[in-house]
């Protein structure tokens, strides 16, 4: 770990101002990803701004009938929240499919959105990796790629986004609310929040330097049957090979979002529209243009199969 300085912010404004004024500063909340990355010198901040004491830890109704989730709400608390469980069950289920109880106790809403890929080459600093060291190349593309992305990738990077929570939020059309040092607030639709790798895989989201996530807001509840299905190499505590968040409406409509297969939570309008044609059609629409490797091509079939499982369960309930 490179030496770094540390300060504890007392307010949102102070946190944002410190971030703007100190080159190389990073916010730290739960630290469940950042600290690991710092030990490996994949992240080398000069200064850590502890944001654990600036509020932002409430879950409250919005005027529009939705829900505002403070950036520092812990994953455990969010999953257990009564309103979330009742009106946004897919979010609760996605959270509980992620990590372990101990990690969820520490991990925060904003931190979860910003967690970094699990590509094994990203984690070994002796290997080329365009995401870790721009321009150094990608060792994964012709290497061990079984767990990596099959769609939304580029010639520079095939890393996958590891979050479960973000997949559910993408399904729910959440908005990411931010604040900057000068007090400017903005709301970024989650669809636009994460960036595809393109030529700059090290740039993963739209936040500007020093910009702080204050909350994630959910639109009013959409009802329906909400499910999250995560398929992985063991029964618990593993990242998704494929995950699917779905809402099946009473009227036969549906929404689908996918994890484990793309550099960001993956959602395609055409996939939602294909619900009437069955799981294979939904998968085909979601994965149109996929460019898998030989090692991870199975994720295409597995995506269709995971959807088929959800359709089967829905029909069994009906």
Partner 1 sequence: MKFDRPATANPIDRGRVVGIAHDRIEGAAKVTGTAPYAYERHDAAPNAAYGWIVGSAIAKGRIAAMDLTAAEVAPGVLGVVTHQNAGPLGKGNMNTAHLLGGPAVEHYDQAVALVIADTLENARDAARLLRIDYRAEQGRFDLAADRDRAAKPEDGFGGPADTSAGDFDAAFGRAAVQIDQSYTTPDQSHAMMEPHATTAAWNGDRLTLWTSNQMVAWAVGDMARTLKIPKDRIRVVSPYVGGGFGGKLFLRADALLAALGARAVGRPVKVAIARSQIPNNTTHRPATIQRIRIGADKDGVIDAIAHEVWSGDLPGGEPETAAMQTRLLYRGDHRRTAHRLATLDLPEGNAMRAPGEAVGMLALEVAMDELAETCGVDPVELRIRNDVQYDPEVGPKRPFSSRKFVECLRQGAARFGWEQRDSRPGQKRDGRWLVGMGMAAAFRNNLVASSGARVGVDAQGRVTVETDMTDIGTGSYTIIGQTAAEMMGVPLEAVTVRLGDSRFPVSSGSGGQFGGNSSTAGVYAACVALRTKLAERAGFPAEQVIFEDGLLRLGNQSRPLAAVAGPDGLWAEDRIEFGDLTERYAQATFGAHFCEVGVDIDTAEVRIRRMGGAFAAGRILNPKSARSQVIGAMTMGAGAALMEELQVDTRFGFFVNHDMAEYVVPVHADIPEQDVLFVEELDDKSSPMKAKGVGELGICGAGAAIANAIYNATGIRLRDYPLTIDKLIERAEGSALA
Q: Locate the DSSP E strands across 153-274.
A: 175-179, 185-189, 212-218, 225-231, 242-248, 254-259
> What is the three-state SS of 264-286?
CCECCHHHHHHHHHCHHHHHHHH
User: Under the criterion CB under 8 A, does residue 186 sit at the interface with partner 1?
Assistant: no
> What is the three-state SS of 52-77?
CCCCCCCEEECCCCCEEEECCCEHHH
User: Under the criterion CB under 8 A, does residue 3 sit at the interface with partner 1?
Assistant: yes
User: Under the criterion CB under 8 A, does residue 64 sit at the interface with partner 1?
Assistant: no
User: Under the criterion CB under 8 A, does residue 312 sit at the interface with partner 1?
Assistant: yes
User: Under the criterion CB under 8 A, does residue 191 sit at the interface with partner 1?
Assistant: no
User: Under the criterion CB under 8 A, does residue 225 sit at the interface with partner 1?
Assistant: no
Q: How many C-beta atoms surround the C-beta of residue 288 within 10 A?
A: 11
User: Under the criterion CB under 8 A, does residue 314 sit at the interface with partner 1?
Assistant: no
Nearer to partner 1, 67 or 99 (CB): 99
Q: Where are the alpha helices (DSSP H) in the chain?
A: 12-21, 34-39, 75-80, 82-87, 89-96, 101-106, 109-113, 165-171, 190-193, 269-273, 279-286, 298-317
Q: How far is the CB of 268 from partner 1 (least distance, A)?
A: 21
Please state whether 112 falls in left (phi above 0), alpha (psi between -120 and 50) or beta.
Answer: alpha
User: Under the criterion CB under 8 A, does residue 144 sit at the interface with partner 1?
Assistant: yes
> Given CA atoms 130, 132, 136, 139 in this order, what sign does their dihedral have?
negative
Of these, 22, 26, 123, 200, which contacts partner 1 (CB under 8 A)?
Answer: 123
Binding string to partner 1 for residues 249 to 268, with x set by CB under 8 A, is what?
--------------------
CA distance 54 to 47: 17
Closest CA to 177 of 317, 290, 287, 56: 56
Q: Are strands 242-248 and 67-70 parallel, antiparallel or unpaired?
A: unpaired
CA distance 31 to 19: 17
User: Under the criterion CB under 8 A, does residue 46 sit at the interface with partner 1?
Assistant: no
Q: How far is the CB of 72 from partner 1 (least distance, A)?
A: 24
Of these, 74, 118, 131, 264, which contacts partner 1 (CB under 8 A)?
Answer: 118
Q: How many C-beta atoms surround the C-beta of residue 236 within 10 A?
A: 10
Nearer to partner 1, 2 or 86 (CB): 2
Nearer to partner 1, 36 or 192 (CB): 36
Stretch that binds partner 1, among 121-129, 189-197, 205-213, 220-228 (CB under 8 A): 121-129
Stretch that binds partner 1, among 103-111, 163-171, 202-210, 309-317 (CB under 8 A): 309-317
Of these, 233, 270, 276, 277, which contacts partner 1 (CB under 8 A)?
Answer: 233
Q: How far is the CB of 253 from partner 1 (least distance, A)?
A: 22
User: Under the criterion CB under 8 A, does residue 239 sit at the interface with partner 1?
Assistant: yes
Q: How far is the CB of 10 from partner 1 (least distance, A)?
A: 27
Nearer to partner 1, 42 or 218 (CB): 42
CA 264 distance to own-chain centroid: 7
| Residues of this chain that bind partner 1 (CB under 8 A) | 1-3, 39-41, 118, 120-121, 123-124, 126-127, 139, 142-144, 146-147, 229, 231, 233-239, 241, 298, 301-302, 305-306, 308-309, 312-313, 316
């Amino acid at each position: 770990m490179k030496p770094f300085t540390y300060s504890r912010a007392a307010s949102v404004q102070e946190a944002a101002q410190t971030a703007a004024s100190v080159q190389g500063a990073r916010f730290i909340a739960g630290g469940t990803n950042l600290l690991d990355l710092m030990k490996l010198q994949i992240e080398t901040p000069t200064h850590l701004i502890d944001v654990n004491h600036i509020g932002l830890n409430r879950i409250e109704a919005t005027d529009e009938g939705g829900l505002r989730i403070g950036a520092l709400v812990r994953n455990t608390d969010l999953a257990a929240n009564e309103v979330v469980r009742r009106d946004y069950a897919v979010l609760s289920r996605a959270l509980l499919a992620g990590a372990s109880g101990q990690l969820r106790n520490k991990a925060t809403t904003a931190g979860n959105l910003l967690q970094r890929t699990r590509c094994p080459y990203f984690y070994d600093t002796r290997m080329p990796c365009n995401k870790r060291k721009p321009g150094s190349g990608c060792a994964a593309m012709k290497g061990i790629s079984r767990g990596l992305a099959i769609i939304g990738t580029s010639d520079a990077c095939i890393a996958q986004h590891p979050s479960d929570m973000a997949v559910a939020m993408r399904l729910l059309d959440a908005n990411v609310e931010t604040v900057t040092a000068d007090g400017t607030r903005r709301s970024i639709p989650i669809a636009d929040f994460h960036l595809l790798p393109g030529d700059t895989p090290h740039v993963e989201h739209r936040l500007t330097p020093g910009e702080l996530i204050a909350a994630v807001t959910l639109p009013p509840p959409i009802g329906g049957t909400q499910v999250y299905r995560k398929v992985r190499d063991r029964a618990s505590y593993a990242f998704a090979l494929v995950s699917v968040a779905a809402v099946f409406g009473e009227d036969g409509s549906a929404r689908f979002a996918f994890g484990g297969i793309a550099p960001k939570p993956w959602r395609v309008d055409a996939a939602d529209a294909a619900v009437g044609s069955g799981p294979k059609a939904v998968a085909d629409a979601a994965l149109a243009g996929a460019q898998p490797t030989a090692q991870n091509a199975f994720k295409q079939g597995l995506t269709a199969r995971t959807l088929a499982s959800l359709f089967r369960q829905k029909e069994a309930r009906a």
